[in-house]
Chain A
Amino acid sequence: SAVISQKPSRDICQRGTSLTIQCQVDSQVTMMFWYRQQPGQSLTLIATANQGSEATYESGFVIDKFPISRPNLTFSTLTVSNMSPEDSSIYLCSVSAGGDEQYFGPGTRLTVT
């Protein structure tokens, strides 16, 4: 299994600003994933982050809006840039461990005013 922590747990931000979310895993993992969960919705994959390479973004998500860093095998950050109220969501990071079982962090609840 994997234990994942995220910072911050929640934040209220003003329109036009940026927020960086940190994700820390208690073991080394190859792939980390970032998801967005808009209010009342299911999870949507933003990007896959592999250590030592550029993140791979899903359709509808771009690097300028959601830059991702993956400096080592236990840590990643997601930045939500130039925020608007539509970015208000829960942002979750996850990893795949043995047997491709996926584990999630507790999430970051973002509100943009």
Chain B
Amino acid sequence: KQEVTQIPAALSVPEGENLVLNCSFTDSAIYNLQWFRQDPGKGLTSLLLIQSSQREQTSGRLNASLDKSSGRSTLYIAASQPGDSATYLCAFLSGTYKYIFGTGTRLKVLA
């Protein structure tokens, strides 16, 4: 069974800190990996998409990397802000063309 694990499950940090969120998956045969943000009670907002042939993607203060051989992806958030508080989900597109979602990391950035 394909599984996606995110560590830590919850994180509380003071404003300005640089953060690393981890995502590990058991199936190395992935087509891509996507990071999402979800605010409480809301839908998902796409942050970054990494194709299987790529190793990383950057958007503003966000950087995501992908290491298929080790089954890991990391999301790096630079200079965190209170507005970054949300749940962050990773998901990969499997060989059966289905997205498998991680368990999520609940982030709280304190002002």
**Interface residues in chain A, defined as those with a beta carbon under 8 Å from any beta carbon in chain B:** 4, 6, 31, 33, 42-45, 48, 58, 90, 92, 94, 99-107, 109
Beyond A42-B102, A44-B101, A94-B44, 12 extra complex contacts between A and B, CB < 8 Å: A43-B89, A43-B91, A45-B99, A100-B49, A100-B93, A101-B34, A101-B49, A102-B93, A103-B46, A104-B36, A104-B45, A107-B41
Whether the pair B104, A42 counts as a contact (CB closer than 8 A) is yes
Contacts of B43 in A (CB 8 A): 4, 6, 92, 104-107
Q: Which residues of A contact B103 (CB under 8 A)?
A: 42
Q: In this complex, which of A4, A6, A104, A105 has the most chain B Cβ atoms within 10 angstroms of its Cβ?
A: A104
Interface residues of B (CB under 8 A from A): 31-32, 34, 36, 41-46, 49, 51, 89, 91, 93, 97-99, 101-104
A45 and B45 alpha carbons, distance in the complex (Å): 17
Number of A-B contacts (CB under 8 A): 52
Most chain-B CB neighbours within 10 Å: which of A31, A94, A100? A100
B42 in complex: contacting residue of A99, A100, A106, CB < 8 Å: A106
- Say what secondary structure dominates the interface of chain A: strand
Shortest Cβ distance from A1 into B: residue: B46
Q: Which of B34, B46, B91 has the most CB of A within 10 A?
A: B46
With A and B bound together, what is the CA distance between A33 and B31 in angstroms?
Answer: 17
A26 to B98, CA, bound (A): 22
| Contact in complex: B44, A45 (CB < 8 Å) | no
